[in-house]
Structure 1
Amino acid sequence: MDNLEKIWHNQLVDDSFCKLKSLEVEGCMKLLNVFPSNIHGRLLSLESLVVTACGSLEEIFDLREWSIYDSRIMLSFANLQKLRVSTCRSLKNLFSTSILAKEGVVMEEAPARFLFPKLTSLVLYNLQELRSFYPGRHKVEGPVLKTLGMSCCGIHDTDEDGQMQPPFFLSLVEEAFPCVEELKLNGKNVMMLWQGTSSVAKSLVQLTEMLIGSCEKIREVIGNHGDVIEDEIIFRKLKSLMLEDLPSLTSFCSWNFTLKFPSLETVTVRQCPNMKIFSKGDLTTQKLQKVKIGQDSVELRPDFNLNTAIQQSHEKAQNLENLSLNRSSDEEIFPHGEDQTWTKIKTLDLYYRNDLKHIWKQNSKLDLIIQNLEVLKVQLCHSLINLMPPPTSFQNPSTSFRNLTYLKVESCNSLINIGTSSVAKSLVQLTEMLISSSEKITEVIGNHGDVIEDEIIFRKLKSLMLEDLPSLTSFCSWNFTLKFPSLETVTVRQCPNMKIFSKGDLTTQKLQKVKIGRESVELRPDFNLNTIIQQSYEKANEDIWNEDNGAYSSEHSDFSICSYDVAAFEACWRVGQLFQLPEIAKNPLEPQTHQVKDDLRSFYPGRHIVEGPVLKTLDLVDCCIHDADEEGQMQQPFFLSLVEEV
């Protein structure tokens, strides 16, 4: 449905779609809106609306031609119970501005009204440009809504002209959903949930579960807009509260309000490094017995309440040595380079953070954060474009990672290198480096600026592994002198484009063997690491068996592999066929063919018979197996030629 621009016909009879109960719209990349103005009022039976992955969608409901008699917009969805909108990258508002609003009539006289009398679930997910429910003054009414979820949404606090506006979330919860029970919010531009007086928080009397996560700007959950000095807020039915990945959060409430949680049973606080206290006013949590802070579960006592637990955790974080972060939508880990919270970290483990682009903010002074870092693991961070920042981010780049001993980078598909030469010079304590499964890495050591010659000494590096790096051409493609005085083990697997290790001078005096794929190759004075990589690349571009390596004699028509129990061919990007034989191939033994990659067309390009009378296991994984030869002529597929009589 990529080319679909309209769902509905321009001219509809009065009762069109009046019985429609469920509508799902997915993958319509050219669709601009779901409901044009002529469909309004017809969907009286609609109960469920789900909109997913419509990249050009600008609004769900088009009100630009909306006209009504009393000069105010009132739109009702009498039976709608479920509304879910996700992954629509252009969506800024659910409703567009009407003609009356554009002319200034509605905006001056009365707000637009959107009525959802039966809506119980509203979920908005991954709407990065979302700004508001409706761009003008409006009122939303959902008297029976129970579940409200907004995750990975922009939720801007300014309009398109840069003017301040009430954040979308606030405009929803103020009076719209008095019966909401489950509240989940994840939006990087939200600064607080409630402002004004505390009356809004007071109105959510049915709330039982609250989750706030990945809001990088939020500083407090309950704020104060005005001159309210004292107040009392009772979250009468709230049982579960989770605050997660909120780097700017300092407290739940920083004002002198009395907070009561008579039903609260579970509190979880994770990755909130600047949260120093829960609330400044009186706090009552009579049912709360345990608090989970990070990985620790803390029991409460009469003399050790929620405030005390948060304060103690913050003090402990000042001495934090091991930090493990996973599954979050943040684009940066350390947005403020001067933060004193992280200065004692020795181990940093990042896992499955798909939106992470930078581990630390560029052009900030990072020396304090990484001065004690010994172990760095980064896995499944596919948006990461910067592992080790450029030299300008450090006061002294040559000593930046001076204590790092272990580096592992796996499945980071946006990285093109690990770091520049000036930062690499600081890796004087590094003993083990593993780089794998990152499809865009072209080299390990890059070049920042116009450095022509340089010398890098990996003084303590003993083990280097490069695995499954399809774009890697070399460890370093610049004319740098590389010295590895302690290097003992080098492993290179599934790096089909690696033509050379380095272009400059290379010293590896302790290295005796290199493992390339499944082979272990010994070094000699005339056969160094560069020579091995070059030879391996050239060999990989040839057929596995051909007449050049003496696998058979052209005078014979039979070929038998007599000494193999298992034959495995793995990640061979350029192999077009397994054999280049004149007529007949015989194999009486037990080969296992596994992961012969992209270009495989046949066992042998001509007429042939394969014999494997005792074959028990045959695996063909991720093989193209074309049914045409290279000239486009139909041929018997490789797989059929094997199983027919073999």
Structure 2
Amino acid sequence: MPSSFHNLIEINIENNEDVGRTIIPSNALLQLEKLQQITIQGSCGGLEEVFEVVVVEGSGSSESKTLVPIPNLTQVKLDGVYDLKYLWKSNQWMVLEFPNLTTLSIEWCCSLKHVFTCSMVGSLVQLQELHISVCFDMEVIVKEDEEEEECDAKVNEIILPRLNSLKLHDLPTLKGFCLGKKAFSLPALDTLQIKNCSHIKVFTKGHLSTPHLKVIDTDFGICDVRTDVNSFIETKLEEVCTNIIIYSSVFLIIFSYIIR
């Protein structure tokens, strides 16, 4: 990586075993004013985070967060980065912001447990497409901050005003989009796919508004959303449980006849 990042427009890394633990060191975070695109693909042994965020000694005494914008980053694609654990490792003193990010695609990042934190997701005012697939350790898309009570007190509702396409595929440990208490408003969302996410129990625990969403593409096919996404998921879970009970009962009856 370059010694200076001021003129860096694009990061494109593919199958680089020597890339190290992080891509962008903490001392370069304020030099990314021209960065527009990040693409990381294939085996990058040992790469654990894209942006290094470290706690500066003595910062724990400050009551305010340091906001670090990455102002012109529009596209991020991560594919097959198996050891990646964080886009950045969040802490309560520094928050990265991505005000012009429009597209984020993550695939086959099997060590990644979450994508965003609640303290920074509100900065994604231009995000239009969010596609996450084949991430076997993914538990939530938006994770609560370590200081949950502080976050809840400052943020009543998180709005992603331009998000229109959200696709969640093959995330076997995903429990929900966000399991915190925050309310979410997704006023432009018209495409929602949730497929092969067998452990999802709820989309959000807080209130969810998706006024333009009419259908959800799921393992059950394309389904109408007659109430809200959370109610839809709850109803489908009940249907699945009922079907399992019915099928199990039928199987036991058939099996009992066979062994007679």
Which of the five TM-score ranges fits, normalised by the shorter chain?
0.7 to 0.9
2: CA distance, partners of 1:393 / 1:359? 18
What SS is found at the alignment partner of 1:337? helix
Q: Are positions 1:450 and 2:147 aligned together? A: yes
Matching residue of 1:383: 83
Structure 1 segment 173-572 matched on structure 2, within 5 A: 247=1, 273-274=2-3, 319-329=7-17, 330-338=20-28, 342-352=32-42, 353-363=44-54, 367=68, 370-390=70-90, 392=92, 394=94, 397=95, 400-452=97-149, 453=152, 454=155, 455-524=157-226, 527-543=227-243, 546=246
SS of match in other structure, 1:403: coil
Provide, for residues 391-443 of structure 1, a one-character-per-residue CA deviation record: whole Å limited to 9, x for no partner: 5574xx4x711110001111122221112101111111000101111111111
Per residue, is there more helix in 1 or in 2? 2
List aligned pairs for 1:589-608, cutoff 5 A.
Answer: 605=255
CA deviation string 1:120-177 (max 9, x = no partner): xxxxxxxxxxxxxxxxxxxxxxxxxxxxxxxxxxxxxxxxxxxxxxxxxxxxxxxxxx
Aligned mates of 2:89, 2:188 — CA distance in 1: 26
Q: Deviations over 1:317-353 (max 9, x none)?
A: 8544332112223111012432776431211011122
CA distances 1:265-308 after superposition (whole Å, capped 9, x unpaired): xxxxxxxx23xxxxxxxxxxxxxxxxxxxxxxxxxxxxxxxxxx
Unmatched 5+ stretches in structure 1: 1-246, 248-272, 275-313, 548-575, 584-604, 609-632, 634-646
Counterpart AA for 2:239: K
- RMSD (Å), alpha carbons: 2.9
CA contact (8 A) 2:52 2:88 kept: no
Separation of aligned partners in 1, 2:241 and 2:88: 34
Contact 2:165 2:192 in 1 (8 A): yes
Provide the residue aligned with 2:61 in structure 1. none
Q: TM-score, normalised by structure 1?
A: 0.35
SS in 1 for 2:132: strand
TM-score (norm 2): 0.81
- 2:239 is paired with a residue whose SS is helix
CA spacing shift, 1:382–1:488, aligned 2, 3 Å? same
What is the Cα deviation at residue 580 of structure 1?
3.5
Cα distance in 2 between the residues matched to 1:456 and 1:335? 29
| Structure 1 equivalent of residue 60 of structure 2 | none
- What is the number of residues matched between the two proteins? 241
1:379: how far off? 1.5
> C-alpha separation between the residues in 1 aligned to 2:120 and 2:171?
22
Identity across aligned pairs (percent)? Answer: 26
More strand by share: 2
Name the CA distance, whole Å, in 1 between partners of 2:145 and 2:30: 28
Regions of 4+ moved over 6 Å: none
Alignment map for 1:93-132 (pairs within 5 Å):
none
Q: 2:58 maps to what in 1?
A: none
More RCO (CA 8 Å, sep 6+): 2
Counterparts in 2 of 1:510 and 1:490: CA distance versus 1, 3 Å: same
Q: Tell me by how many angstroms 1:515 deviates.
A: 1.3
Distance 1:377 1:582, change over 3 A: same
Q: Which residue of 2 aligns with 1:26?
A: none
Q: One-letter code of the match for 1:356?
A: L
The 1-side partners of 2:108 and 2:33 are apart by: 27
Give yes or no for contact 2:26–2:54 (8 Å, CA) kept in 1: no
- Rounded to whole Å, the distance in 2 between the matches of 1:427 and 1:341 is 20
Aligned equivalents of 1:382, 1:519: Cα separation in 2: 30
- Contact persistence 1:516–1:536 (CA under 8 A): no
The one-letter amino acid paired with 1:496 is S
CA distance in 1, matches of 2:233, 2:67: 36
